[in-house]
Chains A and B, each alone.
Chain A
Amino acid sequence: MWLWFSKLGSPKWFYELSGRWLPWLVAAMFAFLFVGVVWALLFVPQDYQQGLTNRIFYVHVPVASISLAFFPLMAIAGTITLVWKMKLADIVVKTAAPLGAWFTAFALASGSIWGIDTWGTWWIWDGRLTSLLFQFFLLIGVVSLRSALEDSDAAAKACALLSIVGCINVVVIKYSVDWWNTLHQPGTDFVLSSNKANGPDIWVPLVLMIGAVYLFFAVSMIMSTRNEILERERRSQWVEELVDNL
């Protein structure tokens, strides 16, 4: 277990392992995306109130829900950075922040465009929308904090701390729809029986899209983590050998 843990922290080991996994993850991502998008756009029946705007649900919900995973991920990696100074953990904190900002921005934008016709407004200072906008600014804050601090050790510590504190906002986002019930609808439980309003013909494509977006998240994170490893380890022997063999 400890051997595995210390190996996982080794950039070289991660670089080699992720290089073997990446093609499979990319293939799975495109497969899930293709089936999910075709199903959502062509086959899902229209909603009795919102008509065909329910197509937006299948991209908005996966991206918005996975956007909540960024702060917990960065907080775990940040804690590992603070306690064990593992090289790889700080790289994860660094690469997750801008991707998280993209996720949050897309969740806000797609929600706004959906709201234009279904809510009659593209923006309202509702609990869910406001706390998600706050998450966007927090993530931009983590990105700029790192570029503002010259000393990379201090930057790693500061970003780790901000990531841990930022988790409080995730709890607010999650329960915002129950605490302040304004326009954004609360969470929904899905049912297995297909004669219910939200049966499998509604949620199976959603599950596919959630899988697709998770795979995209993994692929993009791994790609930028590998880039960061190459830059930070450029003086190490294994990177020099890798470059020589090009």
Chain B
Amino acid sequence: MVAGVGVDLENLWIRFGDFVAVRDANVNIKGGDFFSFLGPSGCGKTTILRAVSGFLEPSEGNVLIGGKNMKGVGPNKRPTALIFQNLALFPLMKVWENIAFSMEIKGASAAERRKRADELLEMIALEGQGDKLPSELSGGQRQRVAIARALCAEPHVLLLDEPLSALDLKLRQHMRTELREIQQRVGITFIYITHDQGEALTMSDNIAVMRAGVIDQIGEGKTIYNDPATPFAASFVGENNVFRGKVKRVSGDRVLVQSNRSGELLARISTANLGRLKEGDNAMIFIRPEAFELAKTGTEGDHYVSARVINEEFEGNVFNIFMEGDGGKEIKVSLPNLGQSFDSHKGQTMTLKYDVKNAVAMPAGVLATE
């Protein structure tokens, strides 16, 4: 078993001509961590991964693996293994040959390779499938073969480039658990690239949220979800309702915002933005759909929102209510299904209540586009 080593990015810049793909990234990834880069496509997360694996030289800054600067070290000399988005299994080699490719390179005998491949096949629950060709396997099986192939190289860091994006939903959810299990078993550092916040939240120890080459926030999933640093992080990770307005009064970590549509709203300033909101500033308040609860109609106050119901839907575990919101966007409210009776309120005005600590305020900025 190989221990995972840390990966550090120091003032990393990557440019392609005039285009800046990664702008001054500073990340410290602990050894043995499951670390995710989360962001929409084209935000530069794959570029970071290629810089770590050695396929790309940074324009500026350093990549350190296990404390060692990797400048000038080729991808075949780095203690990393990459799982490609399309898996890149060698189509002409049998499954076991694919898995043991890294041993073949080092000149291991066929018997040794076969033995190791069979061990790994057992680990990924594909015993006896070693003599098939990759094309004869299903998508999920191919996925696992790619993981086994990478693990066979005994890397200290495993890099995964959206490996689940080609799978169907059920399989994707299953593979999440499996990946997490494998990571805990082998104990090496996983760096995971995804645009799916569900994947990032369920699997990762830590997450970096990226937008257009810039890392917006690094932290545990819970922190990012509950205490987002930027409007982008707030709107990209999970569902969120945004209320825009002007700051009326700041006291400590509380801020009163005169919202455009919903009157005065009281909110908590997110940790990263403490001291950065002044009176008269444009601000945004984010409240999650599940942070609302129904209140007596007509109640007013600084933690109440009243709006007309446009649509309702039943999703099984929750009732979703869509209300007229700010800037043409609907306010989404999710009420947990606890077996209560639920009457339709379509067309009526309803009043919602929220806990101030669940309303996060920050300076106005760019939202994630859906």
A and B form one complex: no
